[in-house]
Amino acid sequence: MRQLKSVLVIFILFILPGYLKAGEYPVSAIPKSMLTHANAVIRKEEQVVEIRSLNKVTVRDHYVITILNEAGEQFAYWQDYYSKMRSIDHIDGNLYDALGNKIRSLKKSEIQDEPMASQVSMVMDRRIKYHNFNHKEFPYTVEYDAEVTNDETMFLPDWSPLPGRSISVEKSSFTLVADPDYEIRTRAYNLPKPPVVTINGKAKTMVWEINAQTAIAKEFAAPPLHELAPYISFGASDFKLDDFKGSMRTWQDFGRFISKLNEGLGELPEPIIERVNQIVAGAKTDEEKVNRLYAFLQQNTHYISISLGIGGWRPFPASYVASKGYGDCKALSNYMVALLKVAGIKAYYVLINGGAYQRDIPVDFPASNFNHAICAVPLVNDTIWLECTSQTTPPGYMGSFTGNRHALLITEEGGKLVSTPTYDKRQNIQNCELSGTVDGAGTLNLKAKNFYQAQCSDQLQMRIHAQSREEQLIYLKKNLDIPHYDVVNFDYQETVGRVPSITENLIISAPNYAQVTGKRLFIMPNILNRWDTRLVADTARLYPVELSEEKVEKDSVVLTIPEGYITESLPKPLDIQTPFGQYKSSCSVQGDKLYFSRSLALNKGKFAAADYNNLLNFYEQVFKADRAKAVLVKIE
């Protein structure tokens, strides 16, 4: 009934607008071009950022959004956080029906106020306020007006008039007000025109505006939103964070600020100094000393986020970690640097943007684009990178969380942009060797030896260290791509190193794996590692294709087939060479053995929108080849 009423409302609005009395924001006034690919429409938004001083920035935001359907509800709420350095000064809101008539206004008692949730946070002074009208009669419109004050200038708000895909914008403006002498650095993407700049007395005003911005469609492997839609990143020149002043004009300048922020936080208590000397005694190389001290860190500390005041950027002292046995990424990395200093090894505190396959920072635009800290130890021939928040990551390995990107090394001279280790097809390897038997009833008994290296081992490494053996068994019994099976036994052997690997051994019994139909036996020779991505054809693809995964898989299967069967048909050999990757497979029967081999290489890269259907064709060929069956016939 609710859906029917929504359909009727939309029909009336667009077919019979002259017969209805419209309010301030009628849905019928939305241009039809704004509805293409859209689940919501920003009717208007006015953002004003006023830099009043180095430690006072006021942000005012007034916006009106029409929610067209249930998928657009993600844009229907307001939320923001506050802390000792950030206050929410004002929030108002209104709800309108499809005709644009106001239904009701926000009540202060409806605003939720809760601690900012974190499963690994011990202390945090940030709280969050949020509100949602939770209206379910589509379409409807929400309006919010909020004002926030930041007591720092290290983080200036970006302007992203399209907050996501599938939302269009009728009109949006961003106004920046500052002293005429204050330098504002900008990095703009996809803006139709430059800002309008005016200077009036002691205020310089810059206004950016967009109109009639259609929604960005959701497409597989599309570039990030800021590469497709209007977006501006703002960077401070001189800034202040609490009592600390700094500059962000260059990476070196920003590094000097971080160095000043960390100054005096590396002192260790005498018992820890003595312990360090005991640990490194007898070590023959600096690398051995690093490995020993990193093991000490992993065995005696654990990660807990602590964010108080400027604690989001300033580490707690090394002495704090030594006494408590815990810290956040900054505190643990600073502690590791201090431990190595006692051992006579120079190490550096490093800022990085962490996240699996995270996109790299703009290297020519210095800004505080970091959310994580690690440690780097330059040795004579190489640098050892240390992830200090992990109790299980091998020394020197960055993986998908911090590998393949730039980071900021904090040196005595300031910040230096460096690259973390790169993991590509030479390191990201998955090899599977399977052997087993299939009987006349279709039961498969299988032994599997699966080898995972570098980023191919990341998820498995986390799982085997986080789960008990019972939990690992439950996972295996639920997540293998076999209809009915039992895991008879399993084990893991982990090889640590700068390019770590894990060997997984499985013994599996699968009744009815092979299908028996009359005299025929149907066997799918690719048992454990099948490609599962299928795409939808799109002749009107809008955006380029970005592929981020890069790896090589190799599979070999040897199955003993039941006596008395001969080959009727086998999967055809396949050899596909494309810019996106390569695939090769073959299957044969020799005596009572069925042999299957498969290799898949995935390439990282950016491809034209016109290449999308070629990618679809590649994926589809791999999908089908991975599921092709051998057909055996029983001899009379």
CB atoms within 10 A of CB 619: 20
> So what's the pLDDT on residue 396?
97
**Average of pLDDT values for 62-77?**
97
Please tell me the predicted confidence (pLDDT) of residue 312: 74
The CATH number assigned to the domain with range 2-241 reads 2.60.40.3140
Residue 119 has pLDDT above 80, yes or no: no
- The arithmetic mean of pLDDT across residues 267-286, rounded, is 97
Confidence of residue 309 (pLDDT cuts 50, 70, 90): low
Average pLDDT over residues 234-247: 92
Average pLDDT for 490-505: 97
Where does the pLDDT of residue 204 fall: very low under 50, low under 70, confident under 90, or very high at 90 and above? very high
pLDDT for residue 120: 47
Token readout for 60 is 């005012």
Going by pLDDT thresholds of 50, 70 and 90, the confidence category of residue 122 is: low
Task: Give residue-wise pLDDT tens across range 384-411.
Answer: 999 999 999 999 999 999 999 999 999 9
Mean model confidence pLDDT for the chain? 93
Name 449's bridge partners.
433, 505
Taking a C-beta distance cutoff of 8 angstroms, is the pair 255, 415 a contact?
Answer: yes
Dihedral angle computed from the Cα positions of residues 470, 472, 478 and 479, in that order, rounded to the nearest 10 degrees: -170
Question: What average pLDDT score do residues 122-138 get?
Answer: 87
> Considering only 16-25, 80-89, 353-362, 465-474, which range has the smallest mean pLDDT?
16-25
Q: Compute the radius of gyration of the chain from its Cα atoms.
A: 30
Taking the C-alpha atoms of residue 525 and residue 514, their distance in angstroms, rounded to an integer, is 9
Q: Which residue ranges make up each domain of the chain?
A: 2-241, 252-419, 429-634
pLDDT at 358: 79
**Of the options 1.10.645.10, 2.170.130.10, 3.10.620.30, 3.20.20.70, the CATH number for the domain spanning 252-419:** 3.10.620.30
Name the pLDDT band for 124 (thresholds 50, 70, 90).
low
Whether the predicted pLDDT of 16 surpasses 80: no
State the amino acid at position 23 in one-letter form: G
Q: Smallest Cα–Cα separation from 358: which of 118, 603, 223, 548?
A: 548
Percentage with pLDDT > 90 across the chain = 88
Instruction: Determine the Cα–Cα distance for residues 361 and 352; give it in Å rounded to an integer.
Output: 9
What is the CATH topology of the domain spanning 429-634? Answer: Jelly Rolls (2.60.120)
Q: What is the mean pLDDT of residues 126-151?
A: 96
Residue type at 360? Answer: D
Write down how long the chain is: 636
Region 553-568: what's the mean pLDDT? 96
- Beta-carbon neighbour count of residue 271 at 10 Å? 10
Least-confidence region, from 88-97, 315-324, 350-359 = 350-359
Q: How far apart are CA 31 and CA 15, in angstroms?
A: 14
pTM for this prediction: 0.90
